[in-house]
Amino acid sequence: MLRSSFYLFSLSICLSLFLACAPKGAVVIHGDIEDASNLNIYFDKITANGSTRVLTNAEASSSGSFDVVFEEPLEAGIYRTRVGAKSAYLMLTPEDKQINLK
């Protein structure tokens, strides 16, 4: 029990430091996905005509967590995060600065 509490405390400190170092106006997407260890996570923009454009990708850690940082605000629209055949859709605005996915 003490070990898991220490792990969660350490993880929260690391995440806080990471977010504090992000550029002003940056968008930070943090995720924790079960069974996604060492897999690529893709972040796509869905265009008005329904096509998709890959904006970036990141590799999940051995625990399934990942971080994606965009230095500029994202334009309003529909975005998709995908891991393998699974995906999640997000409606974002330029005011969205920190997104947490679980």
- Over residues 6-13, the mean pLDDT reads 51
Closest CA to 85 of 29, 32, 39: 39
51-91 per-position pLDDT tens digit: 999 999 998 888 888 998 988 888 999 999 998 788 889 99
Between these two residues, 4 and 38, which has the higher pLDDT value? 38
Between these two residues, 77 and 19, which has the higher pLDDT value? 77
CA distance 90 to 45: 10
Tally of CB atoms within 10 A around 42:
17
